[in-house]
Amino acid sequence: MADAHNYRAVERFSLGEMSMTKHTIKDYLNGRVEVGSQVTLEGWVRTRRDSKAGFSFLQIHDGSCFDPIQAVAPATLVNYQSEILHLTTHCAVRVVGTLIESQGKGQRFEVQAERVEVVGLVENPDSYPVSAKRHSFEHLRTVAHLRPRTNTFGAVARVRDCLSSAVHRFFHEHGFLWVHTPIITTSDAEGAGAMFRVSTLDLANPPRDDQGDVDFSADFFGKAASLTVSGQLNVEAYCLALSRVYTFGPTFRAENSNTTRHLAEFWMIEPEIAFANLSDDADLAEEFLKFLFQAVLNERPDDMAFFAQHVDKDCITRLEAFVAASFERMEYTDAIKALEKAQAKGEKFEFPVRWGIDLQSEHERYLTESLVGRPVVLMNYPKDIKAFYMRMNDDGRTVAAMDVLAPGIGEIIGGSQREERLDVLDSRLDELGLSKEHYAWYRDLRRYGTVPHAGFGLGFERTIIYATGMANIRDVIPYPRTPGNAEF
Amino acid sequence: MADAHNYRAVERFSLGEMSMTKHTIKDYLNGRVEVGSQVTLEGWVRTRRDSKAGFSFLQIHDGSCFDPIQAVAPATLVNYQSEILHLTTHCAVRVVGTLIESQGKGQRFEVQAERVEVVGLVENPDSYPVSAKRHSFEHLRTVAHLRPRTNTFGAVARVRDCLSSAVHRFFHEHGFLWVHTPIITTSDAEGAGAMFRVSTLDLANPPRDDQGDVDFSADFFGKAASLTVSGQLNVEAYCLALSRVYTFGPTFRAENSNTTRHLAEFWMIEPEIAFANLSDDADLAEEFLKFLFQAVLNERPDDMAFFAQHVDKDCITRLEAFVAASFERMEYTDAIKALEKAQAKGEKFEFPVRWGIDLQSEHERYLTESLVGRPVVLMNYPKDIKAFYMRMNDDGRTVAAMDVLAPGIGEIIGGSQREERLDVLDSRLDELGLSKEHYAWYRDLRRYGTVPHAGFGLGFERTIIYATGMANIRDVIPYPRTPGNAEF
């Protein structure tokens, strides 16, 4: 059939080499391209330095790795005076030249430029919001569209991507399926937090029922809908069909928390495993976290070196210690005893310690940093401080919940074995005044081929904070959403 | 420090083997475990057949692959009469036995059971909503929490996961960074579609301004916010810092479309490449789609064989042809000529054909199926039917847009080279009456180090439909959201 048509096929052309096969600066710096090759660099100028010897040194960056490559532009180039000497930070250029071994220190390879083409200038360089001088993170948040051009936020983007990629790799190597649980939900929050309403009603003049209340039956989904706070209940249904599953997606909290640790929109990872108990869950959490941090150490030494030098000098040693450690398993009840004993010996805590409390950050950090000196999995919490779906232990007063505590941050993972016994689940629903009808589909999972199963949630941004030492969660997500802020 | 504490470490125990290292049914069926080994199967009964010779044959399934494994349970087992003979579809069991080569046909390996432990029964098997008999997809949509237990929806879940995984693998092998663009946005839809409002206001009694309008300055984000229809504008900012980036996340349309092709919530993939033009974009689309479908053919032959047998007999040959084909590049203008010529020769189209129209599905399918017989990249559309951000061509009447059309489905990808010239972009904004202030940050990308760049969007569910032949988009996402439906 291909010969039956009479149109002119579009000629395949390209800007320089075909995008997908062209080399990046990472390739050049890593020695993957032969010295002496003719190369084309496409990227942005990080800095320009002019030598009196008749050269300019351009540091060219394309995002493929932390380091830029140096291009040496001789004054003999036709546009040296008219263009090259006017290049400023983040001007876009295309440099054609020869890859050579560098004589200068600090880099192995550089490019002897034969042509420097200016692709895009920076308007008014003096007022450019991300010029080469140092800017505060507060300022850079106001230019979230430009901040990935800076050293810090470029490094954050690469580490974030590296961790994302490691999440998927870990789970696929272990036979897990990624399940896309819904974002819009008509389920309640099961106490996980305040929710955003999602609607297409005319808010200025919504339809009303006989009582004068808003009539959500006229809304898009035929009832009141919200943004999800967790994919767990949904993914449990897939776990009880396919054994090993996980979610990795955006999650929401409509809480008016203006802190360095809270976002209204963040990404969460929630694995769920069938035929598994709390101990299996703890083993999975330990193996998973170590895999993630080992991946960052292996794959992003360039960015991690930058964080260690400029953001948090301990970030590399912290990850190395984390990966090398064997996580301690500790009962909640024993943790309370240990905290009480510490208090008796003079340790000061702001919040009181007694069996039944939800541990505060100071308690968690004492346990993992001072008492154990390694990550700790705290297990079997009082039922009254935990959610309805967690499995009741035989003692009748604790549930099979766990938190993973890490030195330097405290809680990083929360999880549990789920209550798989319908009668026990129903008792809990009754006890908490939750509607069996509302959870009918979730109860079905216990009526039909139920099995012991367990899972946990890992906040992705907190993982990035732990890896990089960045202090504010708004600086590890591209476009942070917080009270009063959903710009860009 | 570890010796300073006095709590009792929790003993590590496990249900059978440690979850992460235990074998799955896939391992057994693929010959990865030595014949004669003592094995433990944990999964759900697909079917039970009783032989008069004193055996029951249990097909056991754990989601790791399409096929179940057969366990042979002799009548001599202690619970044979009391339990095994009562097992029904989706009862959960743990089988301990010996892996042997199968004498029966249809499978290479089976398990000679020495113990069959019932973990979870199915209540009232006769009214079990996903019992072993055939159910309509309509019925199964009403039990979306149970449908992944069926052959079809288990296969869909594995193919969806396989494609997801291939998306990430492709981009990482090519040096792309995954960027998590925001879900909640205060940007306009740039015409991409109706949006859902996101709010924490009391809808029954919202705050009002002097004019009586809803006062969104009192809302959570301090202004009116919505769910995103595309991450493109946001990811462009990352592209112009890091060169190769992509999004893969949920996207929303508040359109009252009750069709087999529309969802209110769906997943989309949007790569964006710097120093690239429309031709590079087309090359990327071609390489990417082929990679995805080759991955499904390589990695899910079991599920694809099922789809070919029960859902769409052409699905495997369609993908094989797709992967083997060289995509045709065709100008929009030439496509119109070809359609007019076809009409002149007697081809009937419901919708009129003339230069300037947005092609209808019938036109697209004629081009790709009848005229060319291979995938087609249609390029350079009239500017009046395309978005403001697409790059103006030198002819002044077309823009550098492209659609990828595939036999059997029509449009599967839409993309464009983006307008990187500030003056041209501004003219387009003026022409369309769009606010330069509203797009100030997007315009900044053209003021500071702009470069030619391009990208496209691929609807993930449509990709799954194309791969599997499933007819309704509600059946390829775990929990579909459509007008009047956001259950579970």
- Which CATH number fits the domain that encloses residue A278? 3.30.930.10
pLDDT of residue A187: 84
pLDDT of residue B190: 60
Are B167 and B249 in the same domain? yes
CB-based burial, B164-181: b 16+ in 10 Å, e otherwise: bbbbbbbbbebbbbbbbb
pLDDT digits (tens, 9 = 90+) for B168-201: 999 999 999 999 999 999 986 566 678 999 999 9
The answer to whether B331 faces chain A, any CB pair under 8 Å, is yes
Are A173 and A78 in the same domain? no
Complex ipTM: 0.95
Q: Check which CATH number belongs to the domain holding A37 and give it.
A: 2.40.50.140
On whether residue A145 sits in a domain, the answer given is no
Q: Do A5 and B379 touch (CB under 8 A)?
A: no
Nearest residue in chain B measured CA to CA from A287: B20
Read off the pLDDT band of A376 (50, 70, 90): very high
Q: Do B275 and A379 touch (CB under 8 A)?
A: no
Of A127, A162, A185, which closes a domain?
A: A127
pLDDT of residue A104: 81
- Neighbouring C-beta atoms of residue B52, cutoff 10 Å: 5
The answer to whether B374 faces chain A, any CB pair under 8 Å, is yes
Is residue A477's pLDDT more than 70?
Answer: yes
Q: Residues of chain A with pLDDT > 70: what percent?
A: 95
pLDDT of residue B19: 46
pLDDT of residue A107: 87
Are A119 and A183 in the same domain? no
The answer to whether A218 faces chain B, any CB pair under 8 Å, is no
> DSSP secondary structure string, A349-386?
-SS---TTPPPPHHHHHIIIIIIISS-EEEEEEEGGGS
Beta carbons within 8 Å of A453's beta carbon, 6+ residues apart: A236, A239, A240, A272, A273, A274, A275, A276, A417, A418, A420
Task: Supply the mean pLDDT for chain A.
Answer: 94
pLDDT digits (tens, 9 = 90+) for A385-407: 999 999 999 999 999 999 999 99
Q: Do B15 and A448 touch (CB under 8 A)?
A: no
Q: Residues of chain A with pLDDT > 90: what percent?
A: 92
The answer to whether B117 faces chain A, any CB pair under 8 Å, is no
pLDDT digits (tens, 9 = 90+) for B426-465: 999 999 999 999 999 999 999 999 999 999 999 999 999 9
On whether residue B135 sits in a domain, the answer given is no
Option in B284, B374, B477 nearest A19 (CB): B284
Q: Do B330 and A12 touch (CB under 8 A)?
A: no
- Beta-strand ranges (E) seen in B177-243 are 177-178, 184-185, 197-199, 225-227
Q: Do B177 and A199 touch (CB under 8 A)?
A: no
The sheet that has B453-459: what strands, in order across it? Answer: B177-178, B244-252, B265-274, B453-459, B410-417, B398-406, B376-382, B328-331
Are A96 and A172 in the same domain? no
**Which chain A residues are closer than 8 Å to B481 by Cβ?**
182, 184, 221
Is residue B164's pLDDT more than 70?
Answer: yes
On whether residue A481 sits in a domain, the answer given is no
| Best mutation target, A20, A119, A270, to test chain B (most B CBs within 10 A) | A20
- Beta-strand ranges (E) seen in A167-224 are 177-178, 184-185, 197-199
Is residue A110's pLDDT more than 70?
Answer: yes
Whether A417 contacts A281, CB under 8 Å: yes
Are B122 and B158 in the same domain? no
On whether residue A439 sits in a domain, the answer given is yes
Distance in angstroms (rounded) separating the CA atoms of residues A201 and A218: 8
pLDDT of residue A4: 37
pLDDT of residue A7: 46
Option in B165, B380, B451 nearest A119 (CB): B451
**Overall number of domains in chain B:** 2
Is residue B352's pLDDT more than 80?
Answer: yes
Of B77, B95, B127, which closes a domain?
A: B127
Is residue A6's pLDDT more than 80?
Answer: no
Nearest residue in chain B measured CA to CA from A153: B241
Read off the pLDDT band of B107 (50, 70, 90): confident
Are A294 and A407 in the same domain? yes
pLDDT of residue B11: 39
Handedness of CA A105, A107, A113, A116 (dihedral sign): negative
Is residue B348's pLDDT more than 90?
Answer: yes
Q: Which residues pair with B458 in a beta bridge?
A: B269, B413
The answer to whether A117 faces chain B, any CB pair under 8 Å, is no
Read off the pLDDT band of A19 (50, 70, 90): very low
pLDDT of residue B23: 93
Please name the residue that has the structure tokens 């055939």: B134
Please name the residue that has the structure tokens 């095994």: B84
- Beta-strand ranges (E) seen in B75-180 are 92-101, 109-120, 177-178
The answer to whether A358 faces chain B, any CB pair under 8 Å, is no
pLDDT of residue A11: 39
- Beta-strand ranges (E) seen in A228-384 are 244-252, 265-274, 328-331, 376-382
Are A270 and A383 in the same domain? yes
Read off the pLDDT band of B217 (50, 70, 90): very high
Whether B417 contacts B391, CB under 8 Å: yes
Q: Please give the average per-residue pLDDT across A167-188, as a whole number.
A: 95
Q: Of A103-107, A355-359, B162-166, B394-398, which gets the smallest average pLDDT?
A: A103-107
pLDDT of residue B103: 87
pLDDT of residue A22: 83
| Best mutation target, A248, A448, A460, to test chain B (most B CBs within 10 A) | A448
Q: Please give the average per-residue pLDDT across A201-222, as a whole number.
A: 94
Q: Do A485 and B337 touch (CB under 8 A)?
A: no
Is residue B110's pLDDT more than 80?
Answer: yes
The answer to whether A242 faces chain B, any CB pair under 8 Å, is yes
Distance in angstroms (rounded) separating the CA atoms of residues B288 and A304: 31
The sheet that has B225-227: what strands, in order across it? Answer: A184-185, A225-227, A197-199, B197-199, B225-227, B184-185
Q: Please give the average per-residue pLDDT across B115-131, as a whole number.
A: 96
pLDDT of residue B192: 62
- Beta-strand ranges (E) seen in B218-300 are 225-227, 244-252, 265-274
The answer to whether B231 faces chain A, any CB pair under 8 Å, is no
On whether residue B7 sits in a domain, the answer given is no
Are A96 and A179 in the same domain? no
| Best mutation target, B44, B145, B205, B337, to test chain A (most A CBs within 10 A) | B145
On whether residue B179 sits in a domain, the answer given is yes
pLDDT digits (tens, 9 = 90+) for B249-262: 999 999 999 999 99
The answer to whether A193 faces chain B, any CB pair under 8 Å, is no
Are B313 and B407 in the same domain? yes
Option in B15, B221, B242 nearest A452 (CB): B15
Task: Supply the mean pLDDT for chain B.
Answer: 94
Is residue A23's pLDDT more than 80?
Answer: yes
Please name the residue that has the structure tokens 């949006």: B195
Nearest residue in chain A measured CA to CA from B330: A9
Please give the interface size between A and B, counted as residue pairs whose CB atoms are below 8 Å apart: 449
Are A160 and A283 in the same domain? yes
Q: Please give the average per-residue pLDDT across B30-54, as a whole number.
A: 96
On whether residue B20 sits in a domain, the answer given is no
Q: Do A92 and B206 touch (CB under 8 A)?
A: no
Are A83 and A172 in the same domain? no
pLDDT digits (tens, 9 = 90+) for A227-268: 999 999 999 999 999 999 999 999 999 999 999 999 999 999
**Which chain B residues are closer than 8 Å to A289 by Cβ?**
none
pLDDT of residue A191: 61
Amino acid present at A254: A
**Which chain A residues are closer than 8 Å to B47 by Cβ?**
none
Q: Please give the average per-residue pLDDT across B103-115, as a whole number.
A: 92
Are B64 and B176 in the same domain? no
Distance in angstroms (rounded) separating the CA atoms of residues B376 and B327: 5
On whether residue A1 sits in a domain, the answer given is no
Is residue B411's pLDDT more than 90?
Answer: yes
Nearest residue in chain B measured CA to CA from A215: B204
Boundaries of domain holding A53: 25-127
